Amino acid sequence: MPPEIGNLTNLVSLKMGSCKSLFGSIPSEIGALSKLEYLDLSWSGLAGAIPSEIGNLTNLVTLNLGSCTSLSGSIPSEIGALSKLKYLDVFWSSLTGTIPSEIGKLMNLVSLNMTGTSFYGSIPSEIGALSNLKYLDLSWSNLTGTIPSEIGNLKNLVSLSLGACGSLSGSIPSQIGALSKLKYLGLFWSSLTGIPSEIGNLNNLVSLDLAGCKSLSGNIPTQIGALSKLKTLDISWSNLTGTIPSEIGNLKNLISLDLRDCKGISGSIPIEIGALLELKFLDLSSSNLIGTLPSEIGNLTNLVTLNLGGCTSLSGSIPSQIGALLNLKYLDLSSSNVTGTIPSEVGNLKNLVSLNLGSCMSLSGSIPSQIGALSNLKYLDLSMSNLTDWKFEESGLPSAAIQQP
pLDDT mean across residues, the chain: 93
Provide long-range contacts, Cβ within 8 A and 24+ apart, for 120-123: 120/96, 120/144, 121/97, 121/145, 122/98, 122/146, 122/148, 123/99, 123/147, 123/148, 123/151, 123/162
Give the list of residues 6+ apart from residue 165 with CB closer than 8 angstroms, or none: 138, 139, 140, 141, 142, 143, 190
Q: With a cut of 60, say whether residue 393 has pLDDT above it.
A: no
Give the list of residues 6+ apart from residue 398 with CB closer than 8 angstroms, or none: none
Average confidence (pLDDT) over 9-37: 93
1-95 topology per CATH: 3.80.10
pLDDT of residue 185: 98
Average confidence (pLDDT) over 348-355: 98
Q: With a cut of 90, say whether residue 292 has pLDDT above it.
A: yes
pLDDT band, residue 194 (cuts 50/70/90) = confident
Tens of pLDDT, residues 96-133 = 999 999 999 999 999 999 999 999 999 999 999 999 99
pLDDT > 70: percent of the chain: 96
Average confidence (pLDDT) over 309-322: 96
Residue 402 contacts residue 382 (beta carbons within 8 Å): yes
Compute the distance between CA of residue 243 and CA of residue 174 in angstroms, rounded to an integer: 22
How is the chain split into domains, by residue range?
1-95
pLDDT band, residue 274 (cuts 50/70/90) = very high
pLDDT band, residue 20 (cuts 50/70/90) = confident
Tens of pLDDT, residues 226-241 = 999 999 999 999 999 9
pLDDT band, residue 21 (cuts 50/70/90) = confident
Compute the distance between CA of residue 154 and CA of residue 159 in angstroms, rounded to an integer: 11
Partners of 121 in the β-ladder: 143
Residue 248 contacts residue 224 (beta carbons within 8 Å): yes
pLDDT band, residue 390 (cuts 50/70/90) = low
Sign of CA dihedral 34, 39, 41, 42: positive
Average confidence (pLDDT) over 325-353: 97
pLDDT of residue 394: 46
pLDDT of residue 18: 86
Tens of pLDDT, residues 141-169 = 999 999 999 999 999 999 999 999 989 99
pLDDT of residue 389: 61
pTM of the model: 0.92
CB atoms near residue 345 (< 10 Å): 18
Q: With a cut of 50, say whether residue 398 has pLDDT above it.
A: no
Compute the distance between CA of residue 399 and CA of residue 216 in angstroms, rounded to an integer: 45
Q: With a cut of 90, say whether residue 402 has pLDDT above it.
A: no
Q: Report the Cα 29 to chain-centroid distance in Å.
A: 42
pLDDT of residue 352: 98
Average confidence (pLDDT) over 328-350: 97
Q: With a cut of 60, say whether residue 280 has pLDDT above it.
A: yes
Strands 265-266 and 256-258: what pairing? unpaired
